[in-house]
Amino acid sequence: MTGAFLAGLVAGYGVAIPVGAIAILILGLSARTTFRVGAAAALAVATADGLYAVVAVLGGAGLAGIIAPVAGPLRVVAAVVLLGLAGHGLWRAWSAHRSQRPPTAREGGGMSTPGRAYAALLGLTLLNPMTVLYFTALVLGRRDTADSGVAPVALFVAGVFLASASWQLVIAGGGTVVGRALTGPRGRLVTGLASSALIAALAVAALLPG
């Protein structure tokens, strides 16, 4: 069971670490309003990641019996998808670094309260289809998550949520100085490389017998 929780933590950090428009929006909200507003936005992103993880786990568990005869090839496919996502993240981070153009985000004029910030960021994050693709590929590549009972599934989702929430809250509480460091060209490159490395490691783990 501990393995499922740790897998959730790694998966959560893998999807949360890259600094992009959502992170800039959270930073801007914290800077222009209060930490409470920024924290609400951060928890909304973590909620969306957790919901996508639940969808992926439930879908993977439901398909487990049907796809058992092709479980081996499916693990390879899952690993290939994860490697593709890692490569895409690496390319995006390197391209942004080369162009020296920071990601853009809309001003959060209507998100001046925690409730509004939570609702807005939840909706924005749920619009990202790459997140559910990432979690689905990861879950289907892990037998201990896709084929186990309620407790391992709950621990995996909890790990995803806690990892995402902790990182987004760091972004929210970082302040203007830390925000500049994380969203500058070098900071975006480092976080992009770190995320791609985590996802690639998960792809390798999906190929290992477990």
| Model confidence pLDDT, tens digit, residues 83-122 | 886 787 778 778 767 776 555 444 445 677 889 889 988 9
**81 and 202 Cβ atoms separated by less than 8 Å:** no
What is the spatial distance between Cα 134 and Cα 56, in angstroms, rounded to a whole number? 9
pTM of the model: 0.68
Mean pLDDT highest for which of 61-70, 126-135, 157-166, 175-184? 157-166
Percentage of residues in the chain with pLDDT exceeding 70?
65
To the nearest whole number, what is the mean pLDDT of the chain? 74
User: Pick the residue with more confidence: 135 or 179?
Assistant: 135
At residue 40, does pLDDT exceed 90?
A: yes
pLDDT of residue 176 exceeding 50, the answer is no
Residue 128, both tokens: 């990202």
Residue 165: pLDDT over 80? yes
Residue 51 has pLDDT above 80, yes or no: yes
Per-residue pLDDT at 44 exceeds 70: yes
Spatial contact of 177 and 30, defined as CB atoms under 8 Å apart: no
User: What is the per-residue pLDDT across 11-29, written as a single tens digit (0 to 9) for each?
Assistant: 888 878 776 667 777 877 7
CA atoms within 13 A on the CB side of 63: 18
For residue 156, pLDDT over 80 is answered with yes
Residue pair 195/14 in contact (Cβ under 8 Å)? The answer is yes
Residue with the bigger pLDDT between 168 and 80: it is: 168
Angle at 102 between CA 22 and CA 85, to 5 degrees: 60
Residue with tokens 């017998």: 209
What pLDDT is attached to residue 6?
86
Q: How far apart are alpha carbons 139 and 11 in whole angstroms?
A: 10
